[in-house]
Amino acid sequence: MAEVKGSLLVIDDEPEIRESLETLLSMEGYAVETAADARSGAERIERKTYDLVLLDVMLPDRSGLDLLEEIRSAHPSLPIVMITAYGSVETAVQAMRRGASNYITKPWDNERLLAEIGTLVSQQRLTEENLALKRTLKQRYSFSQIIGKSEAMQKVYDLVTQVAPTRATVLIQGESGTGKELVAKAIHANSPRADRLFVPVNTGSLPVDLLESTLFGHVRGAFTSAVASKKGLFEVADHGTLFFDEIGTVGLETQTKLLRVLQEREFLALGSTETVKVDVRVLAATNVDLERLVQEGKFRDDLFYRLNVIVVHLPPLRERKEDIPLLCEHFFRKYCEENQRPARRFSGAALRVMLDYDWPGNVRELENAVERAVILSSDSEVGPELLPEQLRRNGKKGWGLWPSLGEQPQASLFEILEECERRIISEMLGRTHGNQTEAAERFQIPLSTLNQKIKRLNIEVKKKREGNGG
C-alpha cells in the first residue's frame, strides 16, 4: 500500500469544486476530507489534525477570512491556502495579512496547485518532526531525569531553570558519578539552543596534541598524519553547546587557547592563519577544586574566573540520602523496561542497607546496583542478598543504626524515610551540640522548617552543658 503523502481538508460550498479537488488530490496520494461550510470545517479541524487546509473565501455561513483567523489562532503552524473565484489583489493581500500560506484562484492550474501543496505539506511535516524531536529531547533531559526532592536538589533545579535560557558559561561541580553531564544536557535542552548540537568532550582522555586538534581542528599538512583538513568540535558545535567534562585536566597551553575562544569567540585551526568565528555556549564540569589548582599554578586564574560565572554544585549522594528511594524507583522503572522484566522494588531490609551506605560512587554506583538487581532477581521484591558485596558488608556493620526498624522487615517506605530523616537530624544536632540554628544553617533550610521536623519526629534535643567552674 502506497504511503499517504499527507492529510488535507477542503472547505468549499460548491459541490463540484469539492469533488474536483478531492479527485485530483486523492490521485496524487493525499488523504482528502471535505466540508461544505465554515461550521463543519471548524468542527473537523477541532477533532482531527491535518497537514494543510484549502479554504474558500466565500462561504454560506461566514467569511472564509474570518475562519482563517480562527484556525490560525488555534493552529499557528497549519498551512492554509485560500481559494476564490475573485482574484482581486485586495482580497489576496487581506488573506496573506491574516495568515494565509498562499492564495490561488478558480480555475486553477493543476500542476501549480499540486506543486504548492507538495511544498507546504513537506515543510509542515518537517516542522512537526522537529517539534517532536525537541519534545523528546526535553522529556529525556528535562528536570524529571535529575531525580531528587531534597533541599539541595531543589536548589539545583532552581539554578538550572534560571541559567538555561541565557548564554552564560556554567561550571558544574561535583564528585564523580553525581550526574554532572546530565545537568549539562538539561541546561542545553531547556535553552534556545535545544535544536542545535550538544557536543561533549572528555578532556582527560585525550593527550595535549590530540585535544587541540579535536577542539580547534587542523588544516592539511598541519602535522605528519594530517592528510586532510578537519573541523574541530568548536566549529561542529557552532550555535550549539560544547560541554567540557573534567575541565581541570586541560593543559596550560590549551587553556590559553580556550580562554581566547571564550573571550573573542574565534580561534585558529592548527596550521591555519585564517580566523574561525563561532557562537558556542560552553558548559564545564569538574570533580576537583579548581581554585586549588590555580594556587598550585596548574590552572590559569583568568580562565577560572571566565568559567566561574555561574556555579552549579551537585551534592554527593551521601548528603541527600532522602533521594535514594526515588532514585531506586526511577532506575528500576528504566531497567525493567530495558530488560523486559516485570516491575521490581527493594524490600524494606534492602532499602535500609542502601540508606546506611555512603555511596562513594554516588548516583552512578546506585544505578549499577539497581541494574544488577533487575538482572539477577526473579521476584518482584529484591532483598539484601542481591545487593553488591560492599553494600552487604557495610549493612552488617550498620544494623544498629536502625533500632526502631530492625524487627520490622516489612516496614513501609514512609517509615523508612522517616527513620532516615530522624537519624540524620539527630546526628547533626549531636555535631552542633544541640544548636538548632547552626544545624539549620548546615542543612541549608529555614530554622522554622527544622523545628517542625524535630517536633514531628519527636527528636530529643540535648544541649551541651557549660562548666560552672565550681
Does 265 share its domain with 370? no
Q: Are 430 and 332 within 8 A, CB to CB?
A: no
| Residue 241 domain flag | yes
HSE at residue 67, side-chain half, CA atoms within 13 A, is 28
* Cross-strand pairs, 172: 285, 312
Does 229 share its domain with 333? no
| Residue 2 domain flag | no
Q: Which of 69, 306, 62, 43 is nearest to 170 (CA)?
A: 306
Span 87-108, average pLDDT:
80
Does 184 share its domain with 302? yes
Does 359 share its domain with 383? yes
Does 92 share its domain with 176? no
**CATH number assigned to the domain comprising residue 426:** 1.10.8.60
Q: Which of 315, 341, 360 is the last residue of a domain?
A: 315
* Among 64-78, 172-186, 331-345, 406-420, the least confident range: 406-420
> What distance in Å separates the CA atoms of residue 256 and residue 301, rounded to the nearest whole number?
11
Does 218 share its domain with 282? yes
Locate all alpha helices (DSSP H) within 144-286, ordered by sequence. Answer: 151-163, 180-189, 208-216, 233-236, 252-264
Q: Which of 445, 437, 441, 444 is nearest to 461 (CA)?
A: 437
| Residue 466 domain flag | no
Span 74-87, average pLDDT:
82
Does 26 share its domain with 128? yes
Q: Which of 279, 294, 315 is the last residue of a domain?
A: 315
Does 206 share its domain with 105? no
Structural domain including 417 reads 318-456
**pTM, 2 dp:** 0.57
Does 299 share its domain with 184? yes
Q: Which of 327, 314, 318 is nearest to 149 (CA)?
A: 327
Confidence band, pLDDT 50/70/90 cuts, at residue 468:
very low
Does 238 share its domain with 263? yes
No. of helices (H) and no. of strands (E), the chain: 19, 14
Count CB-CB contacts under 10 A for residue 306.
17
| Residue 464 domain flag | no
Q: Which of 80, 113, 134 is the last residue of a domain?
A: 134
> What distance in Å separates the CA atoms of residue 346 and residue 337, rounded to the nearest whole number?
17
Q: Which of 286, 284, 325, 335 is nearest to 307 (CA)?
A: 284
Confidence band, pLDDT 50/70/90 cuts, at residue 18:
very high
Convert the pLDDT of each residue in 233-246 to its tens digit.
888 999 999 999 98
Q: Are 189 and 139 within 8 A, CB to CB?
A: no
Chain centroid offset of residue 211 CA: 27
Indicate if the pLDDT at residue 2 is higher than 70.
Answer: no
| Residue 431 domain flag | yes
The three-state (H, E, C) secondary structure of 318-380, written as one string: HHCHHHHHHHHHHHHHHHHHHCCCCCCEECHHHHHHHHCCCCCCHHHHHHHHHHHHHHHCCCC
Does 305 share its domain with 158? yes
| Residue 140 domain flag | no
Q: Are 349 and 384 within 8 A, CB to CB?
A: yes
**Long-range contacts (CB closer than 8 Å, 24 or more residues apart) made by 287-296:** 287/173, 287/174, 287/175, 287/176, 287/180, 287/246, 287/248, 288/246, 288/248, 290/171, 290/247, 290/248, 293/248
Does 334 share its domain with 247? no
**CATH number assigned to the domain comprising residue 113:** 3.40.50.2300
| Residue 467 domain flag | no
Count up the domains in the chain and report the number.
Answer: 3
Give the per-residue pLDDT at 423: 81
Span 56-83, average pLDDT:
90
* Cross-strand pairs, 185: none
Widest CA span of the chain, in angstroms? 111
Angle between helices 436-443 and 447-456 (to 10 degrees): 110
